[in-house]
Amino acid sequence: MSHAIALAPLDSDRVALDLARGTLPPISRPAATLAVLDTTEWFAPTSGGIRTYLLQKELYIASRPWLRHALVVPWATDGVVEREGSRWYEFAGPRVPRNEPYRLLTSVGRMRRVLAHEQPHIIELGSPAIVPWLVFRALGTRDVPIVNFFHSHFPALLAGSKRPVPAARELLRDAAWWYARRIDRHVSATIAASRFVADDLEDAGIPNVVRIPLGVDLEHFTPERRANGAETRAAWNLPTDGPLVTFIGRFAHEKELDVLMHAWPEIQRRTGASLVMAGDGPEKAALQARNKGKQVFWLPFIPDRARLADLQAASSVYMATSPHETFGLSPLEAMACGTPVLAADGGGAREHVLSSGAGRIFSPGDWHDLAEQAVGLLSDDLVGHGERAREYAWREHSWESVFDRVFALYAHVQR
């Protein structure tokens, strides 16, 4: 796969444009035989796995001139970003309350204009709240195949919410699955990135589920970066010796990072390890306030992919605390760097650990078990775990094969 195009646009790539009334630029690659439009609300300057998936899709399309891509996402103001074979339409939208940095897509009119202009052959939905209904309404009677990528296991998130009455959790879960089935009536296929999500979708009565795991950039996330460990620690003012346990991602309720905060004093006391918490999100300040452990280092969101990969490679263990992840892309990137994973017994990261033998799992919500498994893993053969981690990432998760399967699905639903 070509890497000539940066994974994030420069500010100079963006042109302010009134997408409700302004003249839209001519479509790129007018001779393309397949035009794909992606749309999601989970795309922002500091967002994670979904953004990575879409940027990697852009790279795949860039080297294939018979493909054309458009991406519709919310932003602070209207604008257009031109890329090789791809165009981003950024709709002005309000912030999602208590969920920085995300915004909402709310304009049917803008969506209708873009769909009429781009004339996509396939539409892929990437979030479940407003986006599906915006697209369905904007399409009207036009018959365009729609694929839904089930990036968020929102029924499981609601069922696991901290409601005081179990019956309330069951009611929320049942309502969420009813809602998911309503969306499914309008789509040709649903993509699930992990076995457990695919099984849950099928058990809930959603047909045409296709499992397509996500990928990892194997040339960028590599064990060769482990040789830079001392320099990486120095660059972030981290301890020069001792194990590093790392979390990189969004500080949000569904990550269940409070369990790690409870467990950390015990882990640190028994191993002498340091904990690195890198990222941003609505729960970060509260987690910092509750942290009573020693040797905890709080880093900002890391937009530089080289520095991000260096940190993952310098880590002894990567921490994946959420049992709700539909895939677990950040843990997989760590594994590609040769770093084993401690994962909650649920979600996509669990599948990575069990399939690779590169790490351990702990009971979700149980900080005692998390501490025991972390201490055990840190005393294990970390080199052997790391070798198995890299081999698994190499064998199962190249982006090239991921998008070969995605576009094969597009061809199937067009028939």
The reply to whether 43 and 129 lie within a common domain is yes
State yes or no: pLDDT of 287 exceeds 60.
yes
- Nearest 10 degrees: CA dihedral of 97, 98, 100, 103? -20
- Report the chain's mean pLDDT, rounded to a whole number: 92
Question: Per-residue pLDDT for 110 more than 70?
Answer: yes
Cα distance between residue 376 and residue 379, in whole Å: 5
Do 227 and 318 reside in the same domain of the chain?
A: yes
Q: Are 228 and 140 in the same domain?
A: no
Q: What 3-state DSSP class applies to 148?
A: strand
Where does the pLDDT of residue 172 fall: very low under 50, low under 70, confident under 90, or very high at 90 and above? confident
Name the band, by pLDDT with cuts 50, 70 and 90, for residue 400. very high
> What pLDDT score does 97 carry?
82
pLDDT at 1 (0 to 100)? 35
Judge whether residue 88 has pLDDT over 50: yes
Reported confidence tier of residue 10, pLDDT bands at 50, 70, 90: very low
234 in the same domain as 198: no
Proportion of the chain above pLDDT 90, given as a percent: 81
For residue 12, is pLDDT > 60? Answer: no
Cα–Cα nearest to 86, from 115, 122, 60: 60
152/274: higher pLDDT: 274
Tens of pLDDT, residue by residue over 240-255, are 999 999 999 999 888 9
381/233 same-domain check: yes
Flag whether 1 is in a domain.
no
Would residue 5 count as lying in a domain? Answer: no
Provide mean pLDDT across the span 113-135: 97
The model's pTM: 0.86
Alpha-carbon distance 135 to 145, whole Å?
12
Distances (CA, A) of 93 to 51, 74, 103, 106: 18, 6, 6, 7
Pair 113, 143 in one domain: yes
Task: Name the DSSP class of 398.
Answer: B
Look up the CATH number of the domain holding residue 156: 3.40.50.2000
- Separation of alpha carbons 75 and 412, rounded Å: 33
Instruction: Tell whether 4 is covered by a domain.
Output: no
CA atoms within 13 A on the CB side of 5: 20
Q: Are residues 175 and 265 in the same domain?
A: no
In the chain, how many domains are there?
A: 2
Q: Are 45 and 191 in a shared domain?
A: yes
Backbone torsions φ then ψ of 26, nearest 5 degrees: -55, 145
Residue 309 lies in a domain: yes
Same domain, 405 and 392: no
DSSP string, 58-98: HHHHHT-TTEEEEEEEEESS-EEEEETTEEEEEEE-PBPTT
Tens digits of per-residue pLDDT, 38-61? 999 988 776 678 998 999 999 999
Mind listing the pLDDT tens digit for each residue in 302-312? 989 999 999 99
Both 97 and 186 in a single domain?
Answer: yes
Longest dimension (CA), the chain: 64
Q: Which one is predicted more confidently, 156 or 304? A: 304
> Can you tell me the distance from the alpha carbon of 393 to that of 122, in angstroms, rounded to the nearest whole number?
29
What pLDDT sits at residue 161?
Answer: 56
Does 181 reside within a domain?
Answer: yes
> Residues 32, 157: one domain?
yes
Residue 379, domain extent: 223-396
Q: Is the pLDDT of residue 8 over 80?
A: no
Residue type, 353: V
Residue 305 in domain:
yes
| 3-state DSSP assignment of residue 121 | coil
Residue 6 predicted with pLDDT over 50: no
Asked if residue 2 is part of any domain, the answer here is no
* pLDDT reading at 384 higher than 70: yes
